Amino acid sequence: MSATTTTHDHAHDDPAHDHAHHEPGWLYKYIFSTDHKVIGVQYGLSGLLFLLFGFFLMMVMRWTIAYPGVPLPGIEFLSGLPVIGDVVVHWTERWAPGGIVSPDLYNMFGAMHGTIMVFMGIVPLGFAAFGNYVMPLQIGAIDMAFPKLNAWSFWLFFIGGMLMMASFFLPTGAAQTGWTNYSPLATTTHYIVKNTWLTGQTWWLAAMVFVISSSLLGSVNFITTLLNLRARGMTFFRLPFFCWAMLVTSFLLLLAFPPLEVAAILQLFDRVFGSSFFLPSGLIQGGKLLDISGGGSPLLYQHLFWFLAHPEVYVLILPAFAIISDVIPCNARRPLWGYKMMVYSALTLGFLSFLVWAHHMYLTGMGTTMATYFQITTVLISVPSVILLTCLMISLWGGSIRFNTQMLFATAFLPMFGIGGLTGLPLAFSFIDLHLHDTYYVIGHFHYVVAPGTIFALFAGVYHWFPKVTGRFMNDTLGKFHFWPSLLFMNVIFGPMFVQGFSGFHRRWYDGGKAFEATTKDLLWTNELISFGAWGLALAQVFFIVNLWLSIKGGKKVTNDNPWDATTLEWCTPTPPGHGNFITEPVTYRGPYEYSVPGHATDFTPQFDGQASGASAPATAPAVASHH
Amino acid sequence: MEIPYTVTARPDTGLWNAKIGVWLFLASEVMLFGGLFSSYIFLRLGADYFWPIHELNVKMGCFNTAVLIGSSVTIVMAWAGVKMRNYKMYFWNLLITILCAFLFLTVKFFEYKSKIEHYGVVLKDGTILLGHQPEEGYRYKFNADSVTLNFKEADPPYFMRFATKPAGEHGGAHDEHGSAPAEILPIETVKFKTESGKETTLAPADFQALKSEAKAAKKDSLKLTPVQPLAFHAKPSKLASHSEKSLAFLDGTLIEGKLVSDKMELHVDVIDTRAAPDADKSMAWAIFKDAGWKKAFDESREEHLKKFNETHPGQDPMKSDHYLREALRFEVHGETPAAHEAKHKEGVGFFDDMPWAEHHYPTVEIEGKDIQRWSNFLPKWNTYYAIYFTITGLHGAHVLAGALVMLYFLVFNSRWFKTDPEHLANRVETGGLFWHFVDLVWIFLFPLLYLL
Amino acid sequence: MANSPEEVAKHVKTYLKVGAALLFLTAVTVWLSYVDFGTHSRNMAIGLTVATFKTSLVVLIFMHMNHERPLIYKFMLFSMLLLGVMFTLFVFVHDDGLIMRGYQAVFGKH
Ligand code: HEM
Ligand SMILES: [Cu+2]
């Protein structure tokens, strides 16, 4: 097959595909499907919805920070709506009397914003959605190694997500102690109540157990698939970097999540069975000695939590690198620079990410030996991060860049992630961190990595693979209207946070610092600025939502299975790929990034091109499977 | 469409899919139990109390260890049976494995049960009394003058559930009303007066009426006065707080009146004076009316001290955990000091610590003011029991899951023995790997929780 | 891998022997836990050594780790490494002198 413009019919119109098995019913095709692509899309849509919801929570918080004590706008309008009106009235009566956000509500939204963004938004999108859809296609597999497990993984995630959402309507409301849920605060909030099973915090813990089980099944599936279902010729060093990043991410999920599961289970025990895993002796609440055995340790919770949560930040960022490393070479028409170095960096990153967790705990009074150890490993881990970023930047060098929407997002990712990463470095040193810990500086640091970083990468991925998934393009003009304001407002939001942090703004102030006016008054106006940034960002997303909505049914049709002239295997499938993915058995003849190879007819030579020079015979074992 | 390498191994990795899958799963399980074990280490190093040693039933734990080891042998034999194409060998070994799993869980059930029925009471000076409680458990006895319902949370109010069931003892709820003390009237029939003087009851219909009235008046609470005298036996765990004059329930109901008694009755089987500043002045000796107990304690301590001095000449006994445990933690073996002495001479029987053995213990009454805290041997008692129940509970869940998976193989996959034996062998091997892991966790749990 | 029927048949006896050894070692563990070695840390060290030996038998023989594919070794070594990190660092973070004191509890002060 040569790399020219060929279009396959939709796979399910292909008679060769249909004779063997009859079409499954609608329910099994779209809802309880075991097809990795459907599951990927399910994860993608639910992830986007969660992302939107988490963003909505933050906008409410930003209102209170900018205008403490002023009633929220729009409550009256919502109360007047037909179906949900009553719920809104009832709920605001409890949590926002007179439309004024109560401190409890602020805490609830804060905790749930973090939780939803990290565990139900970014990870499901970056890892589960893109990984599920793209990875098996890129390695030439017909599906995941364990398709049923894959469906289970999604549904466990879904149950976990629904539990989280439902917890908003409990009498105690949802969890209120930050996404980190530190004990003893998290344990003793809504602790002496009639039934601790029916409290938001307990549901948070139960939901996490579901989400963790889901990601466990997912990661087992990803790794097995990557190891055992690679197509003929797909050696490890012919895997696109995307797949490598997914492999490392899977290992992080596999091995880092269990300790969080332990933390969740132990805190659950503390709450509902009255144990004292995380409660020290002599704990006093509201002036009263608690009736507990004591003897536990809040630090144990922090260890278990951060043992997960540091690797977790790489779970957030690696899928972003995965996507960017496909989008940039494709649109710069240049090979990925330093592919092997990037692979080794990702592996190193994965390994080191398990050894740095206590840099979140410098303030807990650890011994100096250990503080030194964690400072060293934290500085070390920035080296592979810098290598990844640098390789991507060098890949742009000398390219003939196509600035379509996905490329805009991808190139913007680079400096944004750069700012995020560089601002992390000072935090690595305990003497600086003592000052900056729990201030807006830290919020600025990680949001630069995750918001204009990972989320931009996710947008790039959506624009990039949308044609493969739906058979239609997204609109590029709307895309640009989406991109430029997003870039602007992201910086309006997160930039001033560094300044706020330096001057001591605490990350959990309900009134944005108004109560400490003596020290904060010079910078209080930045609160308003940031909030305007947040609402502006919301407006920019309208372009995306409209674009997505319109393009699904009315976007320009894809006439070529490989519309971006890309090189990886997913572009040799029919558009969209049917059940079983490939029409003929995919074979890999070369590395993943052969762009602008001198002497080749076109400026790209796909991995599945066996004709162009440089093709080498498949090295791995033949896939015995029939493709029907 | 069929996924490749479900039965045969992929040549370059040398592995079939499920084998990679199960090993990855086990790697994750290593981290799960690893997290639990490191919590164990953390809690044990930080414990500010005497970590229990040999406090669980070692015989039962030992038996269960043997059961798991046996099943580890049978599961690998079942796999060998498939490989050797010997159906009987496969079938019986797999069946025995499953039965072993259920036997393990049954034994575990009895172990848990005996812990749930066993109580510990920490006295104000740190002395700990262990024992059993009378059937009703610990109750505050209280005479109510008024009941304030809280409509925000309580629906229906909680106290109703146990206020109606004061044990047969004289002085129970509304006994003045009934003919015999044993006859208990359901609280729904007790008449109350509202503040406006209207008569009502707490029967569901009346309660709902009260609630809607309160709602109409925009009130959250309502005070009722019982028409006839009303006595409660309140369960302490359902109270947010209590004083001489009031009981505040967790659901917001407030009962005012007079506390009659908060004495706890306990059938004591261990007197642990290790945490008391001075064992000779322990509060226990005032609680035990019979001075013979202190004598028995002294004698036993002398005996241990003598032994210690013989085996560890020149060492300070108070620095030996072993000595302290033996000498200051006094196990009671009879209803009276004399019976205890007799039993001690005769020697404790091998099966005396099994659930079915019958025991007689002295009964004491402990004043509420002398109690620092109390609980049965559940996670609430201390971090040792907390981690014990958590780890063994999760381990038990794994045993159950393993048993169900193997049962599934036995019932639904056995027919593959003829048609697709290699696939069956793979399944049994996968299940077996998981099963060995469960066994392996137990090999550490047994010494760490029962022995060391 | 021991896959042919003949090879498997050869292993059956080993399995029984290992089972018997495990039962025997269980009894030994129980017995040792009642022996007073002076400090309780010594009891811990001895008991855990026996337990580790028992688990190695299970892993090597029953779980066939004595002849497994390199890939599996890699997974397990990695997770064991992280396990070690977890065991030591969690407590070590708050107590720099812990290892020395633990050593002294078992082997005494020199
Ligand atoms: C590149 C090198 C990086 C270094 C040296 C670094 C360092 C740190 C340090 C020391 C903290 C703790 C600050 C404190 O709480 O006082 C921190 C917080 C954080 N970092 Fe980074 N980081 C880096 C990259 C990343 C990346 C790539 C991500 C995510 C994708 C990330 C996400 C976070 C998050 C979420 C927090 C805050 C967690 C919380 O307290 O809620 N970091 N970082
Ligand atoms: Cu970190």
pLDDT band at B344 (very low <50, low <70, confident <90, very high): confident
Strand partners, B234: B140
C86 in the same domain as C64: no
Span B258-275, mean pLDDT?
Answer: 91
pLDDT tens per residue across span A406-442: 999 999 999 999 999 999 999 999 999 999 999 999 9
Answer for the pair A258, B35: CB distance below 8 angstroms, yes or no. yes
- Choice from A252, A441, A442, A498 to test ligand 1 binding pocket (greatest atom count within 8 A of CB): A442
Mean pLDDT of chain B: 87
C53 in the same domain as C103: no
Q: What structural domains and CATH numbers belong to chain B?
A: 26-118+381-451 (1.20.120.80), 119-134+266-374 (no CATH), 138-263 (no CATH)
C72 and chain A: CB distance < 8 Å anywhere? Answer: no
Q: Which stretch of A236-245, A360-369, B8-17, C92-101 has the lowest confidence by average pLDDT?
A: C92-101
Instruction: Output the pLDDT for position A593.
Output: 94
Residues 6+ apart with CB under 8 A from B266: B119, B121, B129, B131, B132, B133, B363, B364, B365, B366
Cα four-point dihedral sign A583, A588, A592, A593: negative
Please say if the pLDDT value at position A622 is more than 60. no
Split into its structural domains, chain C has a count of 2
* Residues in contact with ligand 1 (CB, 6 Å cut-off): A 180, 313, 316-317, 359-360, 378, 382, 385, 421, 424-425, 427-428, 433, 436-437, 442, 445-446, 449-450
- CA–CA gap between residue B61 and residue A43 (Å, rounded): 45
Answer for the pair A174, A108: CB distance below 8 angstroms, yes or no. yes
A59: closest CA among A533, A558, A595?
A533
- CA–CA gap between residue B427 and residue B439 (Å, rounded): 18
pLDDT tens per residue across span A283-307: 998 888 888 999 999 999 999 999 9
Task: Copy the structure tokens of residue B395.
Answer: 């381990």
**Which range marks the domain in which residue C78 is found?**
69-110
Q: What are phi and psi of B42, to 5 degrees?
A: -60, -45
For chain A, give every domain's residue range: 38-68+102-554
Span B138-164, mean pLDDT?
Answer: 72
pLDDT band at B289 (very low <50, low <70, confident <90, very high): confident
C43 in the same domain as C7: yes
Instruction: Output the pLDDT for position A165.
Output: 96
Entry field: residues in chain C: 110
C45 in the same domain as C4: yes
Please say if the pLDDT value at position A478 is more than 60. yes
- Choice from A427, A434, A441 to test ligand 1 binding pocket (greatest atom count within 8 A of CB): A427
User: Is the ipTM, as predicted for this complex, more than 0.85?
Assistant: yes
Tell me which of A220, A247, A369 to substitute to probe the interface with C (most C C-beta atoms closer than 10 Å): A369
Tell me which of C72, C73, C88, C90 to substitute to probe the interface with B (most B C-beta atoms closer than 10 Å): C72
CB within 8 Å: A367 and C95: yes
Please say if the pLDDT value at position A310 is more than 70. yes
C60 in the same domain as C17: yes
Instruction: Output the pLDDT for position B260.
Output: 86
B106: closest CA among B63, B74, B54?
B63
pLDDT band at A624 (very low <50, low <70, confident <90, very high): very low
pTM of the model: 0.92
Instruction: Output the pLDDT for position B153.
Output: 65
pLDDT band at B182 (very low <50, low <70, confident <90, very high): very low
Give me the residues of B, 353-382, that contact A with CB < 8 A.
Answer: 373, 375, 378-382
Span A57-82, mean pLDDT?
Answer: 92
Instruction: Output the pLDDT for position B158.
Output: 59
Instruction: Output the pLDDT for position A155.
Output: 96
C91 in the same domain as C48: no
Element (H, E) at A72: none
Cα A305 to ligand 2 centroid, rounded to whole Å: 11
Please say if the pLDDT value at position C96 is more than 50. yes
Please say if the pLDDT value at position A26 is more than 80. no
User: Where do runs of H (alpha helix) occur along B84-139?
Assistant: 87-116
C78 in the same domain as C42: no
Please say if the pLDDT value at position C2 is more than 80. no
Span A572-591, mean pLDDT?
Answer: 91
pLDDT tens per residue across span A118-131: 999 999 999 999 99
Nearest Cβ partner for C87 among B38, B432, B448: B38
pLDDT band at A350 (very low <50, low <70, confident <90, very high): very high
pLDDT tens per residue across span A500-557: 999 999 999 999 999 999 989 999 999 999 999 999 999 999 999 999 999 999 999 9
Q: Which chains touch A (3 or more CB pairs under 8 A)?
A: B, C
- CA–CA gap between residue B5 and residue A621 (Å, rounded): 12
CB within 8 Å: A194 and B13: no
Q: Which chains touch C (3 or more CB pairs under 8 A)?
A: A, B
Answer for the pair B140, B185: CB distance below 8 angstroms, yes or no. no
User: Nearest 5 degrees, angle CA B428-CA B430-CA B435?
Assistant: 90
Helix (H, G, I), strand (E, B) or coil at A563: coil
Mean pLDDT of chain C: 87
pLDDT band at A365 (very low <50, low <70, confident <90, very high): confident
Span B409-422, mean pLDDT?
Answer: 93
DSSP state of A177: S
Helix (H, G, I), strand (E, B) or coil at A180: coil
Instruction: Output the pLDDT for position B164.
Output: 45
- CA–CA gap between residue A52 and residue A117 (Å, rounded): 9
C82 in the same domain as C59: no
C100 in the same domain as C51: no
Looking at chain B, the whole-number percentage of residues with pLDDT higher than 70 is 92
**Better-scored residue on pLDDT, A371 or A622:** A371
User: Nearest 5 degrees, angle CA B332-CA B337-CA B338?
Assistant: 125
Sole residue written with tokens 């009703």: B136
Instruction: Output the pLDDT for position A53.
Output: 96
C86 in the same domain as C60: no
Instruction: Output the pLDDT for position B51.
Output: 93
Please say if the pLDDT value at position A577 is more than 80. yes
Mean pLDDT of chain A: 91
Shortest CA gap B40–chain A (Å): 10
Instruction: Output the pLDDT for position A68.
Output: 92
pLDDT band at A618 (very low <50, low <70, confident <90, very high): low
pLDDT tens per residue across span A78-112: 888 888 888 899 899 889 998 999 999 999 999 99
pLDDT tens per residue across span B43-99: 998 888 999 999 999 999 999 999 999 999 999 999 999 999 999 999 999 999 999
pLDDT band at B196 (very low <50, low <70, confident <90, very high): confident
- CA–CA gap between residue C89 and residue A300 (Å, rounded): 11
Instruction: Output the pLDDT for position B161.
Output: 53
Instruction: Output the pLDDT for position C66.
Output: 87
A165 and chain C: CB distance < 8 Å anywhere? Answer: no
Does the domain at residues A38-68+102-554 carry the CATH identifier 3.40.50.300? no
pLDDT tens per residue across span C9-41: 888 999 999 999 999 999 999 999 998 887 888
Q: Of all atoms in ligand 1, which is nearest to the CA of residue A427?
A: 10
- CA–CA gap between residue A618 and residue A624 (Å, rounded): 14
A351: closest CA among A369, A321, A322, A377?
A377
User: Nearest 5 degrees, angle CA B127-CA B130-CA B131?
Assistant: 145
C87 in the same domain as C38: no
- CA–CA gap between residue A512 and residue A388 (Å, rounded): 36
Please say if the pLDDT value at position B183 is more than 80. no
Shortest CA gap B314–chain A (Å): 33
Please say if the pLDDT value at position A77 is more than 50. yes
pLDDT tens per residue across span A262-288: 999 999 999 999 999 999 999 998 888
Please say if the pLDDT value at position A565 is more than 60. yes
Counting beta carbons within 10 angstroms of the beta carbon of residue A188, is it exposed (0 to 12), middle (13 to 18) or buried (19 or more)?
Answer: buried
pLDDT tens per residue across span C59-77: 999 999 888 888 899 889 9
Please say if the pLDDT value at position B250 is more than 50. yes
Instruction: Output the pLDDT for position A23.
Output: 63
Cα A360 to ligand 1 centroid, rounded to whole Å: 8
C91 in the same domain as C55: no
**Better-scored residue on pLDDT, A369 or B176:** A369
Instruction: Output the pLDDT for position A5.
Output: 42
Nearest Cβ partner for C93 among A251, A259, A367: A367
